Amino acid sequence: MGVFWSRGYHATALPDLLRATKLSRGSLYAAFGDKHSLFLRALDRYIDDAVTRLNVELDPRKEPVDGLRAYLAGYVDRTSGAHGRRGCLVIATAMELAGRDADVNRRIANFFKVMEARVADALSRAKAAGKLADGVDPANAARILVCFVEGLRVISKTAAAGVITHAAADALLDRFIR
């Protein structure tokens, strides 16, 4: 997974995968079929990890506003410095392959749908608890937050070291909560 994450699909050659998996050419093809299948497995694992994290942070049994704060803070941390410059496998794949690979497109579209749904759900719970500012629509706000965190990953690819974005994330959430 790591090598696709760092280099992208096309830029990852067989020798890179052999080094990363410590498998021989024959074993790799016996185990995974071909490069594309192996990539799909890597992408699935990456997405699973992300969804798992989402389910923890936005757990319905937790305080929704705290969860949203943790969700945003997690993205800020993961896009700071060297982590940020590594980028995001989902976004890189979306831009590189989504238009020409239906398997990839389906997975990524679903991931964004799930994330938006989890965030919208947390916002709905916050609204029900009277924690949201007047006139905030959970569906719109969820889309805004998802776009914000994904945009964060994009600009962090080239951001200079030491750029702090926690303040922006806090400022954004503060606009929605009471």
Partner DNA sequence: TGATTTAAAGACCGTTTGGTCTATATTTCC
Partner DNA sequence: GGAAATATAGACCAAACGGTCTTTAAATCA
How many CB atoms within 10 Å of residue 98?
A: 17
The sign of the dihedral angle between the CA atoms of 124, 55, 88, 45 is negative
DSSP string, 36-63: HHHHHHHHHHHHHHHHHHHHHHT-TTS-
Give how far Cα 21 sits from Cα of 31, 42, 48, Å: 11, 12, 20
Residue 151: CA atoms inside 13 Å, Cβ hemisphere, count? 9
Q: Which two tokens stand for residue 41?
A: 């497995």
Residues 89-128 touching its own copies, rule: CB under 8 A, are 91-92, 94-96, 98-100, 105, 108-109, 112
Q: Which does 29 bind (CB under 5 to 8 A by kind): DNA, its own copies, none?
A: DNA
Q: Is residue 24 within the footprint of DNA (CB under 7 A)? A: yes
Of the pair 12, 80, the CB lying nearest DNA is at 12
Separation CA 117–CA 32 (nearest Å): 32
Identified binder of its own copies from the candidate list 87, 123, 126, 132, rule CB under 8 A:
87
The span of 23-31, 32-40, 61-69, 139-147 binding its own copies (CB under 8 A) equals: 139-147
The span of 18-26, 51-59, 60-68, 143-151 binding its own copies (CB under 8 A) equals: 143-151
Amino acid (one-letter) located at 62: K
Of the pair 26, 99, the CB lying nearest DNA is at 26
Q: What SS3 class is residue 151?
A: helix
Residues 37-56 touching DNA, rule: CB under 7 A, are none
Of the pair 19, 166, the CB lying nearest DNA is at 19
Q: How far is the CB of 43 from DNA (least distance, A)?
A: 15
Measuring CA to CA, which residue among 176, 12, 162 is closest to residue 92?
A: 12
The span of 37-45, 51-59, 66-74, 149-157 binding its own copies (CB under 8 A) equals: 149-157
Q: Which two tokens stand for residue 39?
A: 């990539």
Q: Which does 12 bind (CB under 5 to 8 A by kind): its own copies, DNA, none?
A: DNA
Q: In the complex, which residues of this chain contact DNA (CB under 7 A)?
A: 12-15, 22-27, 29-30, 34-36
